C-alpha cells in the first residue's frame, strides 16, 4: 500500500490556524493508502440556475475505508438551547454565532461532494462507503457534547486529545459509517433511491478520479498561434521596457554605481540608455563589456538610437565609444587596434598588467581619457581588470563608473561576489529583481538554475518551453537532422522569421551545428545579422543578447561544473519561446 498523498502537499496559505493543526496531525498519524484533499472549494448551480459556493476543510479517501469529509472548527464550542444556535468561542473573545451546526455543515458538504462525484461519473450508486466527522482541535473535553447532543455521538467528533491519534480516529470513523445503516440525508431533501450505498470495495482507480475531480490540473495556453502570441507579448514587453528606463533616474548623480540584477532585469538596456545620455551631454563615454559579439550588438543599438535623436555626431566624433574593454585597452597599448589580431593568448591574458606598466611609462593619452564608463556584464572580469578601470578616467575620484552584473552568468571569471565594494569603493549598490524581458513560463524554467534571491517575472504568461528528444525522431536521427526539421517547422508552420531563431550550444569545436545550413535555411553567427538566416552560436558568445526563439542543444558537451550556469544563460536569452533539444 503506498504512503498517504496530500493535495496540496502543504497546508494552503489561507488555511486557519486550527486547519493547519489538523493538517499536521493527519500528516503525522495517517496510515498508508490515504489521499487527503485540503481546503476544497467548488461552485455548483441548482435547478433554477442559481450559483452556490461550497467548501470542505478536508476530504479523505482510502480504497478500503471509503470517503470521509471532515469539518474543522477552532476555539471553544457552545450550543444555546433557547435559540438553537451554535457558537465558536475564540480564546479571550466573545462567542461568535455560526451559521449552522458544524455537524449539519459537515453532512451538507458530504452530500455536495457525493452529488459532484455522481455527476462526473454518471452513476447513481458509488461503490465505496462515505461519511463525515467534525474536529475541534482546541477543545479538550467532549463529554458534555457527546453525552447530551443527538448530532454528536461518541466517535463522530474529535478534539485536541485525539490529534496525536487522528489517523487511527479516521479509520474508526470510516468503519463506523461502514457498519451502520446509510444516512439518507432526508432533512436535506435527498431522494432515498439516490443515496443507496454499496459495500466498500478496494478500488485504486477512484484515487485518480478524485484527483481529477477535486484537484484538477489546469493548463491554459495564451495562444496556439506562436506568431500571433509573440506579437501580443512584444507589445507588453515594450511597455515594460519603457518603464524600466526610469529605474535609475533618482541615482544619476552617483559617481560609483553597482547594479546587480538577474537575467532579463534590463541591465544592458539601462547601461545603453545611460551611455547615450552621457554622450549627448558631451561626456567622453565608454560603453563596454567582455564579449565582442555583445559589444557589436550594443554598438548597432546605439547607432540606431542616436540616429533617431539626430545625435550621430557622438559616435562620429568618438564622444561615445562602444567596444570590449580588452579591445579598448589593446588599442591604447598597441597604438592601433588592428594589430591586436596578431597577438597570442598570452598577450590577452597579461594585458591588464601590460597596460599598467605602459601607463606608468607613457601616461594616458588625452584622446583615451574618459568621463564615464558603463561596464556591462561586470561579472566577466577578473580582479586585474578592476585595477585598469580607474586609470581610464580623466578624474578617477569624480568621473562616472557604473557596473552592471549578474553572478549567475559568471562563465568567464569568478564573478564579483556578493557585492562590489572591493572593486568599487564607495559605490551605491542597486538590486534589480523584476524580469520584464522574458515570458513568465521561460522565466520559471531558467530560475531553476538561479542562485540567490528569486526574481519576480512581470512579463506576459507565454507558453511552456517545448522539449524535443533526439531519440524520438524516425529512423536513425542525429541532432543536426532534428534541429533542421525543427527550424523548418518554426518558420513554415509557426511563422517565425529565420533570423529570429537562435540555436545555442555550449561548444564550438565539438558541436555538429556550425554548418552552412539548418534544414534549408542558411546560418550565421550573432552580431551583424542578416535577414533569412538562422543564428547558430555558442552560449558564451550569445551572452547578453536575446532572440524571440532560442533552441538549446548539445548540453551533453558542457563541462559538468558549468552546466547549470550555461543553462541559465542560454534559456534566459529566449524572449518568447524556448525549445530544449535533449
pLDDT mean across residues, the chain: 82
Sequence-separated (6 or more) residues with CB below 8 Å from residue 155: 172, 173, 176
The CA distances from residue 555 to 279, 515, 567, in Å, are: 41, 18, 8
Q: E-assigned strands of 229-335?
A: 256-261, 285-288, 320-322
CA distance 278 to 284: 8
Q: How confident is the model at residue 73 (pLDDT cuts 50, 70, 90)?
A: very high
The pLDDT, as a whole number, for residue 347 is 92
pLDDT(285) > 90: yes
Q: Is the pLDDT of residue 169 over 90?
A: yes
Q: Are strands 456-457 and 51-62 parallel, antiparallel or unpaired?
A: unpaired
Gyration radius of the chain over CA positions: 33
State yes or no: pLDDT of 259 exceeds 60.
Answer: yes
Structurally, what CATH architecture does the domain formed by 457-581 represent?
A: 3-Layer(aba) Sandwich (3.40)
Which DSSP category does 449 fall into? G
- DSSP assignments along 338-387, one per residue: GGGGG--HHHHHTHHHHHHHHHHHH---GGG-BSEEEESSGGG--HHHHH
Q: What are the cell numbers at 28?
A: 503525522
pLDDT at res. 217: 65
232-241 exposure pattern, b = at least 16 Cβ within 10 A, e = fewer: ebeeebeebe
With 90 as the cut, is the pLDDT of residue 291 above it?
A: no
pLDDT of 296 reads 87
Q: Establish whether the linkage from the previous residue to 461 is cis, with ω within 30° of 0.
A: no
Q: Please enumerate in sequence order all residues whose Cβ is within 8 A of that of 252, keeping only pairs 6 or more positions apart, or say none.
A: 274
Surface-to-core class of residue 500, CB atoms within 10 Å of its CB (0-12 exposed, 13-18 middle, 19+ buried): buried
Phi, psi at residue 478, to the nearest 5°? -135, 165
Helix axes 102-121, 205-214, angle to 10 degrees: 110
**Beta-carbon count within 10 A of 115 CB:** 15
Does 253 have pLDDT greater than 80? no
What pLDDT band is residue 195 in, cutting at 50, 70 and 90?
Answer: very low
Place of cell 535533449: 582
- Count of CB atoms situated within 10 Å of the CB of 470: 16
Of residues 43 and 237, the one with the higher pLDDT is 43
Q: What is the pLDDT of residue 194?
A: 40
Please tell me the predicted confidence (pLDDT) of residue 219.
53
d(CA 494, CA 510): 30
In angstroms, rounded to a whole number, what is the distance separating the alpha carbons of residues 390 and 386?
A: 8
End-to-end alpha carbon distance in the chain: 35
Q: How confident is the model at residue 527 (pLDDT cuts 50, 70, 90)?
A: low
Architecture in CATH for domain 252-432: 3-Layer(aba) Sandwich (3.40)
The pTM assigned to this predicted structure is: 0.55
Q: What gap in Å lies between CA 44 and CA 126, rounded to an integer?
A: 20
CATH 3.40.50.300 in the chain, residues? 252-432, 457-581
Q: Is 160 helix (H, G, I), strand (E, B) or coil?
A: helix
For the chain, give percent helix, strand, coil, nearest 5.
Answer: 40, 20, 40
How many residues in total does the chain contain? 582
Bridge-based pairing state of the strands 66-72 and 35-45: unpaired
Residue 557: CB atoms within 10 A of its CB come to 16
**Mean pLDDT value across residues 8-26:** 88
Q: What is the pLDDT of residues 119-132, one digit of tens each?
A: 776 666 666 788 99
Query: What's the confidence (pLDDT) of residue 521?
Result: 93
pLDDT of residue 193: 44
Name the DSSP letter for residue 393. B
Per-residue pLDDT, 297: 83
In sequence order, the 6+-apart residues with CB closer than 8 A to the CB of 30 are 4, 36, 166, 167, 170
Show the cell assigned to 161. Answer: 486529545
Amino acid at each position: 500500500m503506498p504512503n498517504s498523498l496530500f493535495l496540496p502537499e502543504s497546508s494552503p496559505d489561507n488555511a486557519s490556524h486550527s486547519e493547519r493543526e489538523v493538517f499536521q496531525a493527519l500528516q503525522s498519524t495517517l496510515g498508508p493508502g490515504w489521499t487527503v484533499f485540503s481546503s476544497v472549494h467548488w461552485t455548483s448551480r441548482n435547478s433554477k440556475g442559481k450559483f452556490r459556493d461550497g467548501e470542505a476543510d478536508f476530504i479523505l479517501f482510502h480504497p478500503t475505508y471509503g470517503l470521509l469529509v471532515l469539518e474543522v472548527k477552532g476555539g471553544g464550542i457552545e450550543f444555546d438551547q433557547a435559540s438553537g444556535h451554535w457558537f465558536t468561542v475564540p480564546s479571550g473573545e466573545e462567542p461568535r454565532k455560526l451559521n449552522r451546526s458544524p455537524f449539519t455543515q459537515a453532512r451538507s458538504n458530504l452530500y455536495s461532494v457525493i452529488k459532484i462525484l455522481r455527476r462526473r461519473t454518471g452513476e447513481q450508486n458509488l461503490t465505496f462507503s462515505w461519511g463525515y466527522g467534525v474536529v475541534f482541535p482546541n477543545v479538550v473535553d467532549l463529554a458534555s457534547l457527546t453525552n447530551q447532543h443527538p448530532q454528536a455521538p461518541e466517535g463522530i467528533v474529535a478534539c485536541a486529545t485525539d490529534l496525536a491519534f487522528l489517523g487511527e480516529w479516521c479509520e474508526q470513523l470510516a468503519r463506523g459509517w461502514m457498519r451502520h445503516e446509510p444516512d439518507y440525508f432526508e432533512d436535506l431533501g435527498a431522494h432515498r433511491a439516490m443515496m443507496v450505498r454499496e459495500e466498500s470495495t478496494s478500488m485504486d482507480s477512484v484515487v485518480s478520479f478524485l484527483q481529477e475531480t477535486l484537484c484538477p490540473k489546469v493548463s491554459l495556453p495564451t495562444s496556439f498561434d506562436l506568431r500571433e502570441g509573440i506579437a501580443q507579448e512584444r507589445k507588453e514587453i515594450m511597455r515594460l521596457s519603457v518603464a524600466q528606463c526610469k529605474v535609475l533616474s533618482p541615482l544619476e548623480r552617483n559617481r560609483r554605481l553597482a547594479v546587480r540584477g538577474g537575467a532579463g532585469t534590463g541591465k544592458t538596456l539601462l547601461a545603453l540608455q545611460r551611455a547615450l545620455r552621457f554622450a549627448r551631454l558631451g561626456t567622453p563615454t565608454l560603453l563596454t563589456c567582455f564579449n565582442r559579439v555583445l559589444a557589436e550588438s550594443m554598438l548597432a543599438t546605439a547607432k540606431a538610437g542616436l540616429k533617431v535623436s539626430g545625435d550621430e555626431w557622438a559616435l562620429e566624433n568618438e564622444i561615445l565609444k562602444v567596444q570590449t574593454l580588452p579591445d579598448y585597452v589593446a588599442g591604447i597599448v598597441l597604438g592601433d587596434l588592428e594589430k591586436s589580431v596578431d597577438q597570442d593568448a598570452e598577450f590577452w591574458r597579461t594585458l591588464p598588467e601590460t597596460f599598467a606598466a605602459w601607463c606608468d611609462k607613457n601616461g594616458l593619452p588625452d584622446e583615451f581619457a574618459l568621463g564615464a564608463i558603463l561596464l556591462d556584464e561586470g561579472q566577466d572580469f577578473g580582479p586585474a581588470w578592476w585595477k585598469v578601470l580607474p586609470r581610464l578616467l580623466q578624474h578617477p575620484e569624480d568621473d562616472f563608473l557604473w557596473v552592471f552584473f549578474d553572478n549567475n552568468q559568471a562563465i568567464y571569471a569568478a564573478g564579483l561576489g556578493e557585492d562590489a565594494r572591493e572593486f568599487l569603493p564607495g559605490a551605491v549598490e542597486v538590486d534589480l529583481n523584476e524580469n520584464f524581458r522574458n515570458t513568465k513560463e521561460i522565466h520559471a524554467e531558467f530560475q531553476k538554475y538561479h542562485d540567490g534571491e528569486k526574481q519576480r517575472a512581470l512579463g506576459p504568461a507565454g507558453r511552456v518551453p517545448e522539449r524535443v528528444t533526439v531519440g524520438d525522431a524516425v529512423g536513425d536521427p542525429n541532432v543536426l537532422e532534428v534541429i533542421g526539421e525543427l527550424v523548418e517547422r518554426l518558420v513554415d508552420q509557426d511563422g517565425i522569421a529565420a533570423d529570429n531563431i537562435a540555436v545555442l550550444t555550449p561548444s564550438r569545436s565539438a558541436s555538429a551545428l556550425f554548418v552552412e545550413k539548418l534544414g534549408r535555411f542558411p546560418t550565421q553567427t550573432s552580431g551583424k545579422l542578416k535577414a533569412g538566416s538562422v543564428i547558430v552560436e555558442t552560449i558564451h558568445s550569445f551572452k547578453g543578447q536575446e532572440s524571440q526563439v532560442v533552441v538549446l542543444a548539445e548540453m551533453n558537451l558542457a563541462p559538468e561544473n558549468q552546466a547549470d550556469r550555461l543553462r541559465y544563460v542560454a534559456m534566459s536569452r529566449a524572449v518568447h519561446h524556448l525549445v530544449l533539444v535533449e
